[in-house]
Amino acid sequence: MRHFAVVGSGPAGFYTAEALEKAYGDQARIDILDRYPVPYGLIRFGVAPDHQSLKAVSKRYDKVADSAGVDFIGNVCVGRDISVSELLDLYDAVILATGAPHDRKLGIPGEDLPGVVGSAEFVGWYNGHPDFADLNPPLSGTHAAVIGNGNVALDCARILSKTRAEFEGSDIVGHALDALDRSEIQTVTLLGRRGPHQIAMTPKELGELGHLEAAVPVIEPADFPPVAADEPLEPGLRKSVSLLRAFADLATDKPKRIVFDFFAKPIAIEGDGRAERVIVERTVLDDSGAARGTGETYGVPASLVISAIGYATSPIDEVPFAAGKFVNERGKIADRLFAVGWARRGPSGTIGTNRPDGYEVADQIAAALAPGSSGDRAGAQGLKRLLAERAVMATDYDDWRKIEQTETGRARPGSPREKFVRHQEWLQTIGR
């Protein structure tokens, strides 16, 4: 029997477990560890609550978790409760699938002012992430700014602009829904340091902005090059740019606006003790396509500023780390130690991108470690013994299912599904 530990239960972790299970059949035991008592990482805490079709991929992960050779061990933080070298003593291979849960810093004056939040925090707040349950983003002003031109920036702008009725069928947490319902924000400005041809937004997500009940997207046609310049763009980007251009034809008789401000690089956030405006510098693109400041600056009013400029992986003691991810060669960090997903590649790509990634690493492991005995490696038994000695309250598959059933049980007809938003609530549910 081989023993494998997958650290992180988001998409990358589950695809890797699935691939290992296919490669080894009943000749392996695969433990999926997570620092939270419930799994699914980005699917639970990152994917927008109004994108239920994307969240449905967790049904595939359910099948993996249900299989005999796979176990879930929650509420265990690798690097704090147990070290990577201890895991390597217990398991034949350890695969880090820890994602990129932290916000990259803007590195501009004023980014620590109250009213400035990272997208991981804001997205976590409306998705019931325990670390951000008390974020309480300021929604009493009329203007917000979202920095970045990627899909996460779009998610934040859309969530800020939807009506209560538009969240029907979503699983947004109740406290965020109520706060958003009371929000006074009328204008959300999306700040892109480059132009329409450099956006990282995909067509489906961009298209949604054109169909909001109470908000209309606004563009400035002068920001766009002649239409013929769209021709050489990659088809997905060309479609996104066409959708952007078409926003100019939308009726503007809705109360809220999502304003695309291109060639606008944030250089400071100002305000009297809290965010009131983002100072941006007009840019032009240099020959390499990078944004170069022109020296012309102006202020964009915003009492809520969300920085959506990409995520970073957390370092773990003993594991080489550089440029926001674990140092690896095609997923291999060291002998029997691997990284997959965003911890391997950095925060890019769709959920599905993690599938080939996990399968590739599982193939490497299978090529190096034939099915057979792992000698005296104790696997889950040894891990559970160590955790008990350290008074770590690890949770298991049954605990997770009990928590989930209790959450679902809190659903009220016609309102979003209630989720626990505090770590303690999860543990109380299972009697800890």
Distances (CA, A) of 241 to 192, 234, 286: 14, 11, 20
Q: Are 386 and 82 in contact (CB under 8 A)?
A: yes
Strands (E), 202-303: 215-218, 256-261, 264-270, 277-285, 291-301
Q: How far is CA 378 from the centre of its chain?
A: 33
List the one residue from 98, 127, 149, 303 that touches ligand NAP (CB under 6 A): 149
**352 is an interface residue for ligand NAP by CB under 6 A:** no
Q: Which is nearer to ligand NAP, 14 or 400 (CB)?
A: 14
Q: Which residues contact 10 (CB under 8 A, 6 or more apart)?
A: 40, 41, 42, 43, 97, 99, 341, 354
Rounded distance between C-alpha atoms, residue 10 and residue 34, angstroms: 9
**151 is an interface residue for ligand NAP by CB under 6 A:** yes
**150 is an interface residue for ligand NAP by CB under 6 A:** yes
By CB under 6 A, what part of segment 253-292 binds ligand NAP? Answer: 266
Q: Which is nearer to ligand NAP, 91 or 122 (CB)?
A: 122
Q: Which is nearer to ligand NAP, 266 or 341 (CB)?
A: 266
Position 215, amino acid? A
Kindly report the length of the chain: 432
CA angle in degrees (0–180, nearest 5) for 112-116-120: 105
CA angle in degrees (0–180, nearest 5) for 162-220-188: 30
Q: How far is the CB of 111 from ligand NAP (least distance, A)?
A: 10
Residue of this chain nearest to ligand NAP (CB atom): 150
Q: Which is nearer to ligand NAP, 144 or 147 (CB)?
A: 147
Q: Which is nearer to ligand NAP, 152 or 316 (CB)?
A: 152
Q: How far is the CB of 147 from ligand NAP (least distance, A)?
A: 5
205: left (phi over 0), alpha (psi -120 to 50) or beta: alpha
Contact string 96-125 vs ligand NAP (x = CB under 6 A): ----------x-------------------
Stretch that binds ligand NAP, among 158-166, 195-203, 326-334, 397-405 (CB under 6 A): 195-203
Nearest to 190 by CA among 306, 102, 303: 306
The pairing of strands 256-261 and 215-218 is parallel
Q: Which residue in this structure is represented by tokens 């190096």?
A: 368
List the one residue from 310, 331, 341, 416 that touches ligand NAP (CB under 6 A): 310
Contact string 153-182 vs ligand NAP (x = CB under 6 A): x-x---------------------------
Nearest to 208 by CA among 51, 43, 46: 51
Q: How far is the CB of 54 from ligand NAP (least distance, A)?
A: 6
Q: How far is the CB of 75 from ligand NAP (least distance, A)?
A: 26
List the one residue from 350, 381, 408, 415 that touches ligand NAP (CB under 6 A): 350
3-state SS of the chain: helix, strand, coil percent to 5? 40, 20, 40
Stretch that binds ligand NAP, among 82-90, 194-202, 329-337, 356-364 (CB under 6 A): 194-202
Where along the sequence are the contacts to ligand NAP (CB under 6 A)? 51, 106, 147-153, 155, 192-194, 198, 200, 202, 205, 266, 308-311, 347-350
